[in-house]
């Protein structure tokens, strides 16, 4: 059970760290530049160019 909890904790930690990166470029995300994906989740980007690319793919 302890191993399962450790795996879950690591999964959540890596998901939180990934949220700090732009999904297009991989650079650090600017929390003021966001868009909403098809799944309804808010996504942050490093710049307006990356946001535009994301929006074009997710219309």
Q: Please write the tens of the pLDDT for every residue from 1-31.
A: 666 555 555 454 444 444 699 999 999 999 9
pLDDT of residue 3: 63
* H/E segment holding residue 58: none
pLDDT of residue 2: 65
Q: What is the CATH number of the domain that holds 13?
A: 2.30.170
pTM: 0.65
Count of domains in the chain?
1
Mean pLDDT score, 41-52: 97
Mean pLDDT score, 40-44: 95
Residue 7 to residues 11, 39, 54, 58, 59, Cα–Cα distance (Å):
6, 25, 31, 31, 35
Provide the domain limits for residue 7.
2-57
């Amino acid at each position: 059970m302890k191993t399962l909890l450790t795996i879950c904790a690591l999964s959540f930690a890596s998901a939180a760290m990934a949220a700090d990166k732009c999904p297009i470029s991989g650079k650090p995300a600017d929390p003021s530049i966001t868009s909403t994906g098809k799944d309804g989740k808010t996504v942050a980007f490093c710049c307006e160019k990356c946001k535009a690319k994301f929006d074009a793919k997710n219309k």
